[in-house]
Structure 1
Amino acid sequence: MSCFVDTSFDSLKKKGEELCGDMVEIIKVEDSTVIVLADGLGSGVKANILATLTSRIAATMIKGGADIYETVHTIVNTLPICSERHIAYSTFTIMKIQRDGRTYAVEYENPPFFLIRKGESIKVERKETIINGRKILESNFSLQEEDVITIISDGVLHAGEGNVLNMGWQWSDVESYLLRSSGNKRCAKNISRDLIDACWYLYGCKPGDDATAIGIKIKRPQYVDLFTGPPEHKEKDAYVINELMRGKGKKIICGGTAANIAERILKRSLVVDAKDINSEIPPIFYMDGVDLITEGVITLSKTIEIIREYADSFLEEGRENSLKGEDGAIRLAKILLEECTHLNLWVGKAWNKAYDKEEFYLSIGIKMRLVEELCQFMQRLGRIVKINYV
């Protein structure tokens, strides 16, 4: 199995604090993905500094080629114990998932992670190891396609304490919730966001502790080819359309001129969706063999706005589900967020003769900025992005 490790996290910071005391690092190396969750003692600035120190040590060492055992040994020997409470200044979970699904995890005083497979919770065997007097739990296991792992900080277990629930969420309660909710989630972001949403409401929208959820979904690679803007030289029209249609997965066209090129090269009818004519977002079009055809700049701009909101790691009171609806921007955002692990962009640089010179430079500048923003957000969400300028 050669899998894609889809990862995402969401956090709540304790009410009244400017910073979250949990810190997450997700490191993509050549043959594996490493996830680090550090939970600093207490909350606020001090906790944030402690968690940042822990996660950055791990990230720096792993990127530098150190193995996880060496990394854990360094962290444990670096972080002191609180003299008053006799507990660690920072707890952590580190997990390394290789491309073939083999996984190694170490946990230090964090709640145990969850593994859901085909609607069942899988018990992972853990081995106790003592490093510098600290009890570390190690586990080795293999993951399968569609497996879901959820890593949490203890603030998730405290949700509802003294408010909705007397004792807060217990580990088994979170497990039951994930068994009900994670099976129908198409991407890691949906998993982490859904769990943190639940914590937000259990806390009565006033979190009593920092809370973080990391969602991990093992997926088969999902490819999307997206073409926007006509090529700089017309003789490349056929080349771009042929490359688009040869793509391994979904095919998307953004822009009226790009759609007309596809219609001409493929000799297929382009049909407008009349029911969306009065929408704020320009209507979509249909063509055999192409999964989605939208207008260009307006739709791309709105799509990026949706993805930006969706990628925001901190929940804001009153946030609505931005993926509800069926207009072109929402459909495009859904595909990019839920059905894309590898995005291949074909970006045309042609001069649109409908514009004068000044308008052209403004138009091409806006389009290139939108493409750059889209790439940045997709990469931030862990997707693999390639841009082809034509």
Structure 2
Amino acid sequence: MKSNIYVEISCRKVNCHSDRICGDSFVQRYIPSQNRTIAILSDGMGHGIKANVLSTLTTSIILNMVEGNESLQTIARTILKTLPVCSVRKISYSTFTIFNYNHYNNQVSIIEYDNPQSIIVRHGAIFSPEWDCQEIEDELTHTNRRTILTTTYQAERGDRIVFCSDGVTQSGMGSDSQPFGWGRTKLQEYILTTTNHTTIAAHDLAQRIVQRAIILDKDVPRDDISCVVIHLREPQKLLFCSVPPTVEVKSREIADMIAEYNGKSAISGYPLAELIAREWDVPIHKNLTSTDPDVPPIWKINGLNLVTEGLITLGKVLDILEKRDSGSPVRGRGGAYRLCDLLMEADIIEMVVGLAERITTSSVWRDDYVLRRKILRAISEILEKKYNKQVKVQYV
């Protein structure tokens, strides 16, 4: 990527109180071939399974067309011509918001149809780019005119973009405190107040907005409630080293790499940690007991954010990442959970692993190496596909 801006995206959704499935659908994707990040939120008409089918269809069509490198305007027009209109209510069966970030030129494009208008925060104030209003009508009957809003602007580091389904802005409707619902204006005020804490993560802000909407609905959501928060910021980096004890390593090279790294660092494997401590001439604090009975204890070395045991800990890390919901926090104690915390906090993860050719002992240790490599490869894949992390692997 040419841009040094990281696109942090988080979506929080809550079902309508009477349903087991959310009628809103969300998808995000980084498209390497186009060097852009896309996020799509669709709200199916009504709620429940029918709404979910409609919104999922909408996001799927949009995503497929984006990956086919169609322009956003073409996509929006195609969707509106494809989606049927309710014969009774005269509204489309789903609405949508499309966010697009171009990593080459730091340009943001947003296209909206019938969702609450996106809110953009810059330097602690509401930023209002110029929006273009386009009307699309049925080509045969010249009826059913529908309006899409589009904007394109130059992004800046620190920008936050918030968009949501109408379950957020209409929350509390009919109550004494919010007779007309929360509304976009009061939502803006809430966002500005909350983002005074400039370090607030996207997932925390999205969660707070959704929770506030639920409270306004007296803890009984009357519609699906979904909120997407996007934060354009400096990327958080992690250098993660895991080299088997039977691999000859250039300890000085790795020690210098860690010392000069602009980000956090972690080692999985006691022998490598001992080599690094020796190179730095610093003591090792070895915990004798573990807060997690499933894995060996963590060590502490000045200059490293975390030191864990190798193979057993990596196996549990993979298990945690596979079972964890991508939007939920990591809960647990011990080396594996601590390592998962670091992996989740990072946007760019650089893995340093050993080469098989450097193994110096018996085939038993080669089997250990092969298993470790498989686990690391699986961790790398799940971080990229499930958690949208950028993972780079370096062999030493």
Fold match by TM threshold 0.5: yes
Q: Matched residue of 1:209: which SS?
A: coil
| Cα distance change of structure 1 residues 231 and 302 upon mapping to structure 2, 3 Å threshold | closer
Q: Matched residue of 2:238: which SS?
A: strand
| Cα distance change of structure 1 residues 184 and 253 upon mapping to structure 2, 3 Å threshold | same
Which of these residues, 164, 188, 194, is aligned with residue 175 of structure 1?
A: 188
Tell me which residue corresponds to 1:336. 343
| Gapped regions of structure 1 (runs ≥ 5) | 316-320
Larger mean CA deviation between 239-248 and 139-148 belongs to 239-248
Q: Matched residue of 2:79: which SS?
A: helix
State the Cα distance separating 1:304 from its structure 2 match.
6.0
Q: Matched residue of 2:305: which SS?
A: strand
State the Cα distance separating 1:60 from its structure 2 match.
0.7
TM-score w.r.t. the length of structure 1 is 0.82
State the Cα distance separating 1:254 from its structure 2 match.
2.2
Which of these residues, 263, 272, 282, is aligned with residue 249 of structure 1?
A: 263
TM-score w.r.t. the length of structure 2 is 0.81
Tell me which residue corresponds to 1:212. 226
Does 1:267 pair with 2:281? Answer: yes
| Gapped regions of structure 2 (runs ≥ 5) | 138-144
Does 1:144 pair with 2:151? Answer: no
Residues 95 and 106 of structure 1 are in contact (CA less than 8 Å); yes or no, is this contact kept in structure 2?
yes
State the Cα distance separating 1:211 from its structure 2 match.
1.5
**Aligned ranges for residues 177-216 of structure 1 at < 5 Å?**
177-182=190-195, 183-216=197-230
2-structure distance, mates of 1:301, 1:194: 34
Does 1:155 pair with 2:162? Answer: no
Tell me which residue corresponds to 1:74. 78
Q: Matched residue of 1:189: which SS?
A: helix
**Aligned ranges for residues 94-133 of structure 1 at < 5 Å?**
94-99=98-103, 100-132=105-137, 133=145
- Alpha-carbon displacement from aligned partner over 1:171-218 (angstroms, at most 9, x marks no partner): 222222222223344432233233233334444444321111111110
Residues 226 and 251 of structure 1 are in contact (CA less than 8 Å); yes or no, is this contact kept in structure 2?
yes
Residues 7 and 381 of structure 1 are in contact (CA less than 8 Å); yes or no, is this contact kept in structure 2?
no
Count of equivalent residues: 379
Q: Matched residue of 1:234: which SS?
A: coil
State the Cα distance separating 1:63 from its structure 2 match.
0.5
| Cα distance change of structure 1 residues 309 and 181 upon mapping to structure 2, 3 Å threshold | farther
**Aligned ranges for residues 345-384 of structure 1 at < 5 Å?**
345-348=351-354, 357=364, 365=371, 368-369=374-375, 372-373=378-379, 375-377=381-383, 379-384=385-390
Tell me which residue corresponds to 2:140. none
Which of these residues, 9, 12, 35, is aligned with residue 10 of structure 1?
A: 12
Q: Report % sequence identity.
A: 28
Compute the RMSD of aligned alpha carbons.
Answer: 3.5
Tell me which residue corresponds to 1:227. 241
Give 2:52's aligned amino acid. Answer: N
| Cα distance change of structure 1 residues 295 and 67 upon mapping to structure 2, 3 Å threshold | same
Residues 160 and 229 of structure 2 are in contact (CA less than 8 Å); yes or no, is this contact kept in structure 1?
yes
1-structure distance, mates of 2:337, 2:208: 19
Give 1:27's aligned amino acid. Answer: R
- Alpha-carbon displacement from aligned partner over 1:80-130 (angstroms, at most 9, x marks no partner): 111011111111111211223211111111001111223222233322111
- Alpha-carbon displacement from aligned partner over 1:240-288 (angstroms, at most 9, x marks no partner): 44444454422211232231232234433223469xx563376543334
